[in-house]
Structure 1
Amino acid sequence: MSRRVTTTLSAAALACALVLSGCGEESAPTASTSAALSAITVEGTDAKKAPTVKVDAPVTVTKTESKVLTEGTGAAITEDDLVSIQAIILNGTDGKQAHSTWETGPVGLDLGAQDLFGSFKSQLPGKKIGSRVLITSTPADAFGEQGNPDLAMTADDPVVFVVDVVGATKVLAQAEGKAVAPKAGLPTVTMNDGKPATITVPKGAKAPAKTVVQPLITGTGPEVKAGQTVRVSYTGALLKDGSVFDSSANRPEQPYFDFAAGQGQVISGWDKSIVGQKVGSRLLLVIPPAEGYGEAGSPPKIAGTDTLVFVVDILAAY
């Protein structure tokens, strides 16, 4: 979704820290225990608690490798899955912990994304859901030439990850499920393959005081939970004339939008409406200014008095 629809993305800093890649060479997974892997000690087996990780620093990492510490019982993840992980990040040079998601909550990753760490793209596919995995990464396969000053990582620092694979899912191409007849008087929607949806507003349509949530398709997937990363496709239009102001279909290189549900990363009308819905659902949302962009609007297309209409397909939650 474009910045016209988001409110703030500062809360996504952690996710960015985990996925922005230096575009280094990806190394194949290894079953052997190298000197680098042997320099790491991981204690603790409770998935609900962060493990204790000790690094015999400095660690020399000549190629990215991994070792399964605890094998899960779930399905093996594939190279294009959307995965949910817990992770501890450590600096291989000094052994210091840079971050732990056990303090902030699981993070969603797209293993098919071009900007994902090379170390994750090469080492996580094939691992089973529920596994705890140790990864020793070259600098190039992690933060690359830019390093990560926020995590006190330089371009020369190898990186140690301890990753719990919490879950994995595949993304839908579009909404799938049971069609629902919308209530009379609401805008109607015509989906156009590869193009923004057509949203037709009936004459005399009145703006609601609170957001209207009308399922057009009820999905059969799991319910979206607050804090999960949600992938959607969408089209947004103005209630006053049906004119489209934004659509994920206008970005063919990435015709979807990911955000953390219920975390204030999007307008409140979205946050309130999407949490609790099932993956595969298609929603018609009619959102008044107070739950959209407020009195300030989002110039030049959205005034402070504009009510918004969205059609949203929930493609995945992870």
Structure 2
Amino acid sequence: MGGIVRLCCLWLAVLVLLTACGPIGQGPLPVVTGAFGARPVVMIPDGEPDPQPRVTVLSAGSGRRTMPGDVVLADVEVRRWTGNRPYANTYDAHQPARVVFDGQHVPDSWREALIGRPAGSRVMLVGPAALSYGPGPPLGGTRPAETLVLVFDILGGYPPDARLVGRTLPDVPDDRVPRVLIGGSGPSVRAGAKVIVQYLAVEWPGRRVVDSSYLRGGPSAFTLGPEAPPGWVAGLAGQRVGARVAFPAEAGRPLLYVVDILDVLEPT
């Protein structure tokens, strides 16, 4: 009985100590509102954030879970904790971020936030800039210890070599006539939707590849609107997921695009 009493007293002492010091790793978190796919509204609470990154799933999607080695496509809002000041976002540019999980250049905090999550999930990452800023150089104006708040809308994860099932890499056609090279049977693509694609951009008439998602590391996402590459709305609207299409475009020089439509996400 004496041992039980001593054990209870020990647990009571630990509880008192924790209460006096405050919960470990339980600093205040921002409140995020808004629908998945729309730019989130972030409200920063009073108080100091935790010094270590924290990942919170705000809402879970129902799509395929992202996997190690995937290229993860996500919209992201980045804000500074101090003053709730905007830092960067992909919603205004209508081109989601592409995160290539190739074992390099991606911080552990982004791996925790983005890998193993179902497509359609909204996830928040809060932490110091030095540990929470993503791949690539910071945009500037932040200190390593400054806390950033990142809200991700995960569109999906795709293998780096994702392509139409059973199809080889695309060949470059002999002319710039718009055409369907392979018919699709999936959902129809409409203006305003986000399309997930693999593509080649070929300079004409030399037929030299000047841009390629395959060379960039994997699929890309674009919103079919004014911010899309020239010619994409006309070339892709009305096509179906699973199609491979070729169409011309003028982007300061004659181009031909060859595009595999892997997926489409309708606007919310």
Q: TM-score range by the shorter chain?
A: 0.5 to 0.7
Contact 1:50–1:102 (CA<8 Å) still a contact in 2?
no
CA distance in 1, matches of 2:217, 2:59: 36
Q: Quick check: 1:89 aligned with 2:55?
A: no
**TM-score, normalisation: structure 2:** 0.64
Residue 191 (structure 2) pairs with residue 200 (structure 1)? no
- Quick one: which of 243, 249, 252 aligns to 1:281? 243
Whether the 8 Å contact between 1:37 and 1:67 is mirrored in structure 2 is no
Look up the equivalent residue of 2:178 and give its one-letter code.
Answer: V
1:35 & 1:102 partners in 2: Cα distance? 33
Task: Report how far residue 237 of structure 1 moved.
Answer: 5.5
Q: Deviations over 1:56-87 (max 9, x none)?
A: 3442423x2212244444443334153344x4
Show the counterpart of 1:204: none
Instruction: Decide which structure has the larger Cα Rg and report it.
Output: 2
Instruction: Determine the structure 2 residue equivalent to 1:266.
Output: 229
Q: In 2, Cα distance between the equivalents of 1:146 and 1:245? A: 30
Q: Residue 168 of structure 1 corresponds to which residue in structure 2?
A: 156
Which of 9, 29, 46 is the aligned partner of 1:40? Answer: 29
Looking at structure 1, the residues matched to 91 and 97 of structure 2 have their Cα atoms a distance apart, in angstroms, of 18
Distance 1:271 1:72, change over 3 A: closer
d(CA) in 1 for partners of 2:88, 2:246: 38
Give the superposition deviation at 1:217. 0.6
1:214 to partner: Cα distance: 1.2
On the 8 A contact 2:65/2:157 being kept in 1, the answer is no
Identity of aligned residues (%): 20
CA RMSD of aligned residues (A): 4.1
Matched, 1:238 2:238: no
Partners of 1:73 and 1:310 lie apart in 2 by 32
Aligned length: 235
Distance 2:74 2:33 in 1: 20
- Which of 104, 124, 127 is equivalent to 1:134? 124
- Matches of 1:117 and 1:276 in 2, distance apart? 39
The answer as to whether partners of 1:82 and 1:108 remain within 8 angstroms in 2 is no
Find out whether 1:124 has 2:114 as its counterpart. yes
Partner of residue 182, structure 1: none
TM-score using structure 1 length: 0.56
Q: Secondary structure at the match of 1:121?
A: helix
In structure 2, the gaps of 5 or more residues are: 1-22
Q: 1:254 to 1:104 in 2, by over 3 A?
A: closer
Deviation at 1:216, TM superposition (A): 1.3
